[in-house]
Structure 1
Amino acid sequence: MAIKVGDIGLRTASAVVLAPAAVLATWAGGVWFLALMVLACVLLAAEWAMMSAPAAWRAVAAAVALGLIAGVVSAHFGVMSVAFVMLVFGAAAAGLYARSRGQEAVNAAYGVLYLGWPAVLLIWLRDVDNPIGLHWTVLVFAVAWASDIMAYLVGSLLGGPKLWPRFSPNKTWSGFVGGLLAGTLAGAGMAAWLEMGRLNVFWGAALGLAAALATMGGDLWESALKRRFGVKDAGSLIPGHGGLLDRVDGMMFAVVVVSAGRLIVLMLERGA
């Protein structure tokens, strides 16, 4: 699979426009990061509804978005137990509402949990009251972006056997290995460059490898979901990338792994 120069240019232009806004909101934290997450939740809910319930996507999108926003706002105010409860209730409410509109209840309910779990964890990881939280969030971005970019570049340049042709015919084993190596190096680099508590370079590399593996898994999982719903892309919001979900599918899985890593570090620090 050769690299398409036009595709690279379109992807780069999209990243140049969108990445700075996301980075600035993440750096600012507080209400700015909350606003970024709320906007992302609304857009992701719309894309999920258009994929899973096209006949009544606006209504289902509103129901899914309300569940996501309730969880994210609760997490922003530091009430994580309430955030997870809100996701569960939001999933149930979205499912019931979708059913009342003649749509599959399980798709709407799963959408709230699938999109909401990483969104809530990302709010927790950023932790506006703790400067180190910014560093951990940067680690998520660095690993996910490095893995995604290098998987595409290495797979395009080297080609070779397909990773999972049934669901994602363009992904190769060479790209998979390239993505894992890039994520490992990104994790080690962030641990060496930023203050990460007790996370040293070795464990940063290990966490980067695990998060890169999660990134690849998240990308494949979304490919399987799109095949299930019979769509090529989750949306058309981002030129060269498809929808927002196409852009953050791997990061959604990576943030779960990195959050687990941070929780372990916090437990070690409190036990020291």
Structure 2
Amino acid sequence: MPGSWEDLRTRLASGAALAVLGVVMIGLGGPWFAGLAAAVVGVMIWELTRMTAPDNRAAAVQLGMLAASAVLLARALPGIYVLPVLLAPVLVGAGQIGRNRALFVGFAAAILLAGYALSLFRDSYGMAWLAWLVLVVIATDVAGYFAGRFIGGPKFWPRVSPKKTWSGTLGGWLAALCVGLIFAAFTGAGAGAGVGLAAFSVLLSVASQVGDLSESALKRRMGVKDSSALLPGHGGLCDRFDGLMGAALFMLLVAQLIYIPEVRF
């Protein structure tokens, strides 16, 4: 099946470049990682606006810049102001989007909250937890890609994402479980909590896949193959970071409900 692998080299090259940039910025933390998170959010809002309002290119640029600025500003303000600041670009965009307004509002709010959550998570819980989150998402994506192509089999949800299979979905869960076990073994999180963390990693994997499927559903609704052509082999940032956004939103919710101890490698 040569056609199934023709995009692999391009995907690996652009994926490796993104991974290196992400590792460096996660390591630096602080304003460096916040700047990266804000830039990614800005581009994703630009892509979202182009998909939901393709005739309003000027609004796409303006809303992208406003969204990036909102993420940075929210970091500098007291907690009571964070949500209004993050939702401001959503409300501005809602006034400029036509018949796809509800889709824009839902996805834009999710993107802004997730981008802020990633930055907050790095500052509040340290590099180790953020590295775990990113590794679970990457393992889910990579294992799903290869399991789906090596094993194949029944489609997971063909109406939304025709290429995704049950084998790829289950392969992603298994890879996430392994990441959780390894992370527990090499950090302070392993003190009697290895199995629990492995199970939680699977839940995070599911959240990542929900983010992926949600973006696939949006693209099918809008009649586009990719969110943009910024990343060779991947499409746009929405195509590449949809899983990470789903995982970040899940962790933002979890962090409000349970205590997350700081851990180190």
Q: Same fold by TM (over 0.5)? A: yes
Report Cα offsets for 1:146-203 as digits up to 9, x if no partner. 0010011001111101100111111101111001111111122223223449783122
- The residue that corresponds to 1:4 in the other structure is 4
Aligned residues: 262
Q: Aligned AA for 2:150? A: L
| Conservation of the 8 A alpha-carbon contact between 1:64 and 1:108 | no
Report Cα offsets for 1:32-53 as digits up to 9, x if no partner. 1111112112211211111111
- The residue that corresponds to 1:115 in the other structure is 111
Q: Aligned AA for 1:76? A: R
When the two chains are superposed, the root-mean-square deviation of aligned CA atoms in Å is 2.4
Q: Aligned AA for 2:42? A: V
- The residue that corresponds to 2:14 in the other structure is 14
| Conservation of the 8 A alpha-carbon contact between 1:207 and 1:261 | no
| Conservation of the 8 A alpha-carbon contact between 1:162 and 1:173 | yes
For structure 1, the 5+ residue unaligned runs are none
**Structure 1 position 246 matched with structure 2 position 245:** no
- The residue that corresponds to 2:81 in the other structure is 82
* 1:43-122 correspondence to structure 2 within 5 Å: 43-70=43-70, 72-77=71-76, 79-96=78-95, 98-99=96-97, 104-122=100-118
Cα 1:62–1:107 shift into 2, 3 Å: farther
* 1:164-243 correspondence to structure 2 within 5 Å: 164-196=157-189, 200-243=193-236
Classify the secondary structure of the residue corresponding to 1:54: coil
Cα 1:260–1:196 shift into 2, 3 Å: farther
For structure 2, the 5+ residue unaligned runs are none
Report Cα offsets for 1:222-269 as digits up to 9, x if no partner. 111101111011111111111111011111111122334444552789
Asked which structure has the greater RCO (Cα within 8 Å, sep 6+), the reply is: 2
| Conservation of the 8 A alpha-carbon contact between 2:156 and 2:164 | yes
Classify the secondary structure of the residue corresponding to 1:4: helix
| Conservation of the 8 A alpha-carbon contact between 2:184 and 2:194 | yes
Classify the secondary structure of the residue corresponding to 1:236: coil
- The residue that corresponds to 2:37 in the other structure is 37
TM-score of the superposition, structure 2-length normalised? 0.89
Cα 1:267–1:40 shift into 2, 3 Å: closer
**Identity level (%):** 33
Report Cα offsets for 1:112-148 as digits up to 9, x if no partner. 2021111111111111xx5x42111111100000001
Q: Aligned AA for 1:49? A: T
Report Cα offsets for 1:56-82 as digits up to 9, x if no partner. 033134125414531x22442363432
| Conservation of the 8 A alpha-carbon contact between 1:64 and 1:112 | no
Name the CA distance, whole Å, in 2 between partners of 1:213 and 1:202: 17
| Conservation of the 8 A alpha-carbon contact between 1:233 and 1:242 | yes
| Conservation of the 8 A alpha-carbon contact between 2:67 and 2:86 | yes
Cα 1:74–1:199 shift into 2, 3 Å: farther
Classify the secondary structure of the residue corresponding to 1:171: strand
| Conservation of the 8 A alpha-carbon contact between 1:41 and 1:69 | no
Classify the secondary structure of the residue corresponding to 1:109: helix
Cα 1:175–1:157 shift into 2, 3 Å: same
| Conservation of the 8 A alpha-carbon contact between 2:156 and 2:166 | yes
Instruction: Answer with 181-190 or 204-213: which moved more.
Output: 181-190
Classify the secondary structure of the residue corresponding to 1:266: coil
